[in-house]
Amino acid sequence: MAPRKTPQVTRNPDLVRGIGKYSRSQMYHKRGLWAIKAKNGGVFPKHAPKAKAAVSAEKPPKFYPADDVKKPLPNKRKPKPTKLRDSVTLGTVLIILAGRFKGKRVVFLKQLTSGLLLVTGPFKINGVPLRRVNQSYVIATSTKVDISGVNVEKFDDKYFGKKAEKKTKKGEGNFFEAEKEGENALPQEKKDDQKSVDAQLIKSIECVPELKAYLGARFSLKDGMKPHELVF
Amino acid sequence: MPFKRYVEIGRVALVNYGKDYGKLVVIVDVIDQNRALVDAPDMVRGQMNFKRLSLTDIKIEINRVPNKKALIEAMEKADVKNKWEKSSWGRRLTVQKRRASLNDFDRFKLMLAKIKKAGIVRQELAKLKKETA
């Protein structure tokens, strides 16, 4: 049914819980049942009962399990999308803390539907390509890069997923050769995507003095630096 | 060595522990051997243990327990704020605060600046060494 346009108001307010203000006869009058009857010639209108759908005969099951097994409770939980930390906004410089690029300072582009952060070096500056990174393995600095000219609409989790492998016929002789061929060179399309995203970014990075060198350098803890006291 | 900074009415002190850490306060009365009545323009007058106070060189002219208005006037007259900010202790504190609030990018820029300065100094030194050699 379509949602109500006006909120539902009771015609019979409660005096005390369980006791309404109006009696049965008063409510009969208020609901206008007398008017409905009058319209219908003194009788309350009856609608023909809806035709019941024919119930298909259920066959008795072929197999009854020996013991009654408890059915697990239905789980209708839908995980919420990962909450982006307040410090992580578009164009924030992030410090990656783990993995191949640990310590690299990198520009945040957008949050993907899986919750992972889409990030780029830019590649020319520090060798980090368009990549996904988990929010937990990242420190957000307060430095921001102007990201307005960059179009990241086309990137989503599928773009970064593993390509479905073609099934090769199993044969011992072919096995080693097939593995060598399987080493994928990066498709030209991905290289072009990287270049187009980085072109705009690098322009806005070069506007800020020393930002390029900053992004090219790795972060490390030095003597006397206390992470809990550092302002990022 | 004789003492130079005394606990007296009008002595300006720096709070070094507790909720008011880092504030400059004026000793307005002495309660007993351990505690002083302390006041500042932006806080409610209250007692503080001497162990929480670090005495400074600054002293202002006030009567015992002045009202807030008189205290503020006396502080303006003695120019406590400027004297503090010009003193080496006060300057050191502002520098420490500035350093602690540096951003990661700021720290990077600072490192580059230090390296550049050291390079220039070394060049000049080399020039001078060459002249005297």
Q: What are phi and psi of B12, to 5 degrees?
A: -90, 135
**Considering the entire predicted model, what is its pTM?**
0.72
Chain B residue nearest residue A94, CA to CA: B104
CB spacing of A213 vs B102 below 8 angstroms: no
> Smallest CA–CA separation between B18 and chain A, in Å?
19
Which residues from A are below 8 Å from B108, CB to CB?
Answer: 210, 213-214, 217
CATH 2.30.30.30 fits B9-100, yes or no: yes
Average pLDDT rounded to a whole number, residues A18-36: 91
Asked if A140 and A92 touch (Cβ cutoff 8 Å), the reply is: yes
Question: What does the pLDDT read at residue A167?
Answer: 65
Whether B109 and chain A come into contact, CB under 8 Å, resolves to yes
CB spacing of A143 vs B103 below 8 angstroms: yes
Which residues from B are below 8 Å from A143, CB to CB?
Answer: 103-105
Nearest to B112 among A143, A210, A231 (CB): A210
Whether B113 and chain A come into contact, CB under 8 Å, resolves to no
Nearest to A210 among B100, B103, B109 (CB): B109
Which residues from B are below 8 Å from A231, CB to CB?
Answer: 100-104
CB spacing of B109 vs A95 below 8 angstroms: no
Of A232, A219, A221, A223, the closest CA to residue A103 belongs to: A219
Which residues from A are below 8 Å from B100, CB to CB?
Answer: 229, 231
Whole-number mean pLDDT of chain B?
94
Which residues from B are below 8 Å from A219, CB to CB?
Answer: 104
**Triad A80, A85, A88: Cα angle to 5°:** 130
Name the band, by pLDDT with cuts 50, 70 and 90, for residue A55: confident
Quick: pLDDT tens for B13-72.
999 999 999 999 999 999 999 999 999 999 999 999 999 999 999 999 999 999 999 999
Which tokens go with A108?
A: 């945040």
Mind giving me the DSSP string for A7-42?
----SS-EEETTEESS-HHHHHHHHTHHHHHHHTTS
Which residues from B are below 8 Å from A210, CB to CB?
Answer: 108-109, 112
Question: What does the pLDDT read at residue A77?
Answer: 87
Where do the structural domains in chain B lie, given as residue ranges? 9-100, 102-132
Chain B residue nearest residue A141, CA to CA: B104
- Secondary element (H or E) of residue B71: helix B68-78
Question: String of b and e for B84-121 (b: at least 16 CB within 10 Å)?
Answer: beeeeebeeeeeeeeeeeeebbebbbeeeeeeeeeeee
Question: What does the pLDDT read at residue A183?
Answer: 59
| Residue among B99, B108, B109 with most chain A CBs within 10 A, to mutate | B108
Interface list for A 76-115 with B (CB within 8 A): 93, 95, 105
CB spacing of B108 vs A210 below 8 angstroms: yes
Whether A134 and chain B come into contact, CB under 8 Å, resolves to no
Chain A residue nearest residue B109, CA to CA: A210
Quick: pLDDT tens for A136-169.
999 999 999 988 888 888 888 888 888 776 666 5
CB spacing of A231 vs B100 below 8 angstroms: yes
Question: What does the pLDDT read at residue B40?
Answer: 95
| First CA to last CA distance, chain A | 54
Interface list for A 188-217 with B (CB within 8 A): 210-211, 213-214, 217
The percentage of chain A sitting over the pLDDT mark of 90, rounded to a whole number, equals: 47
> What sign for the dihedral angle of Cα A117, A121, A123, A128?
negative
Q: Cis (ω within 30 of 0) for the bond into A122?
A: yes
Question: What does the pLDDT read at residue A179?
Answer: 55
Long-range contacts of B112-118 (CB under 8 A, 24+ apart): B112/A210, B112/A213
Which tokens go with B68?
A: 């807030």
